[in-house]
Structure 1
Amino acid sequence: MKTINKLVIGSMLIGLSFGTFSCGTSNAVKGGAIGGAAGGALGGVMAGGENTALGVILGSAIGGSAGAIIGKQMDRQAKELEKLENAEIERVAEGIKITFDSGLMFPTNQFALTEQSKTNLRELAESLKEYPDTDILINGHTDNTGKEAYNMNLSKKRAGSVKNFLTSLGVENGRLEIVAFGEEMPIASNETEEGRQKNRRVEVAISANEKMQNDAKNGELDKN
């Protein structure tokens, strides 16, 4: 079983790497595709049952022609989100992953949003309201400086601040979920300041909800 999982994950990574592209300077927009009806199963393997932004997007992919239709709408939304400052916009499978540098979103060791981050989130909220049939997961992450329990709590409060601000702008609360990881999910080495900065982040995953998936399957999502 371990060997099979490794082969599946390897195939998935190869598929995603060939399906990526980037454009712009301050924002990176990457597109990935999961082909065929096996998309959801592959996404589930990659997700590993964890509520990470990437894992949720891959795990919710339905693949096939319906998945392609959802991907087309996500392409459109991702393009519009390029205007966000100091944010990395990634098109992955049938969703969008946004990574904000928490060092720019919050003062050091605090969870109150900066004015610049509020501007970004206002623009994000408008997009989320324009495309209402999506679920939004907000992940909070820190580096490993300080005590583990403190970092977990800080990442939870920061993710909560993002959620609360989006709901205050009219994004439906039921669409939003937060998961805090603290220092558990680094994406770079904590041995350098550059690496620690990358690890201090807030990730937002946008994925199709059940209504969007059904509309795509029934050919009602995009008739243009």
Structure 2
Amino acid sequence: MIMKTLKIKIAITCVALATASMIGTSCSSLSKTQKGAVIGSAAGGTLGALIGKKAGNTAVGAIIGGAIGGTAGAFIGRKMDRQAEEIRKTVPGAEVISADEGLIVKFDSGILFDTNKSDLKSNAMTNIANLATTMKNNPETNILVIGHTDGDGTDAYNQTLSEARANAVRNYAVTQGIAGARLTTVGKGESEPIGDNTTAAGKAQNRRVEIVIVANDQLKQEAKASAGQ
């Protein structure tokens, strides 16, 4: 318990530094997921307050880990806002969460897949194809696809299913012309619930795919140049 409390205090200190500017070398031992977990749960965390319980810690952590802050970060944020509006107009099956220097695009798994399946439905292909168009219109980004399940079934089964679903989304995006190098996948199984796994409504919330869009190195350099850094 003492060690756990110490880690939490250290993480909160690092998050305070990150929200002021950017994560320093003293926080380098924390993973992106740990940083995201603190932001997502700590009272008063700017990004956590913005996202609330709409997305898992891996998604939040990926955005924090890619942020550069300051005027350059604001430059990226404006580009992300424009992309968010484009996605909202063209991908009606998605929930778009604007998160400072990144975006989280969330699909309930029922929109994309049949129960216990990882094959994309025909309507899901349309959604992913439309999303791929916006990705092509905004090439200076990296994309992380995260699969999640509810708490039913074994941990091992849910982990495998979440990975398969994330890979199905990635692979179809590649067929739509998105460079595979821009896309990374991860399966989180049932480990990052955003709803109550004891209720049907909560389980439905937890069965989801999150697509995180963040600036790549080229866009970061462009942002810094614009800010005179």
Conservation of the 8 A alpha-carbon contact between 1:40 and 1:60: no
Q: Secondary structure at the match of 2:226?
A: coil
Aligned letter for 2:80? Answer: M
Instruction: Kindly report which structure 2 residues correspond to 1:58-207, keeping only aligned pairs within 5 A, or say none.
Output: 58-83=64-89, 84-207=91-214
Deviation string, structure 1 residues 107-147 (Cα, Å, up to 9, x no partner): 11101111111111111000001110100000000011111
Give unmatched runs, 5+ long, in structure 2: 1-5, 37-56
- Structure 1 equivalent of residue 40 of structure 2: none
Secondary structure at the aligned position of 2:139 is classed as coil
Note if contact 1:47-1:58 (Cα within 8 Å) is conserved in structure 2: no
SS at match of 2:210: strand
Gaps of 5+ in 1: 13-33
Q: Once superposed, which parts of structure 1, at least 4 consecutive aligned residues long, lie more than 6 Å away?
A: none
Secondary structure at the aligned position of 2:97 is classed as strand
Return the alpha-carbon distance in structure 2 between the equivalents of residues 68 and 47 of structure 1.
23
Q: CA deviation at 1:7?
A: 5.8
**In the aligned structure 2, how far is the partner of 1:146 from the partner of 1:215?**
46
CA RMSD between the two structures: 2.4
Q: Is the 8 A contact 1:40 1:63 kept in 2?
A: no
1:70–1:113: structure 2 CA closer, same or farther, 3 Å change rule?
A: same
TM-score (norm 1): 0.80
Normalised by the length of structure 2, the TM-score is: 0.79
Matched residue, 1:48: 34
Does the aligned pair in 2 maintain the 1:142–1:199 contact within 8 Å? yes
Task: Classify the secondary structure of the residue corresponding to 2:188.
Answer: strand
Distance apart, 1:86 and its partner CA: 2.8
Matched residue pairs, number?
197
Identity %: 40
Judging by fraction of residues, say which structure has more helix: 2
Q: 2 CA distance for matches of 1:6 and 1:45?
A: 13
Provide the C-alpha distance between the structure 2 equivalents of 1:165 and 1:194, rounded to a whole number of angstroms.
28
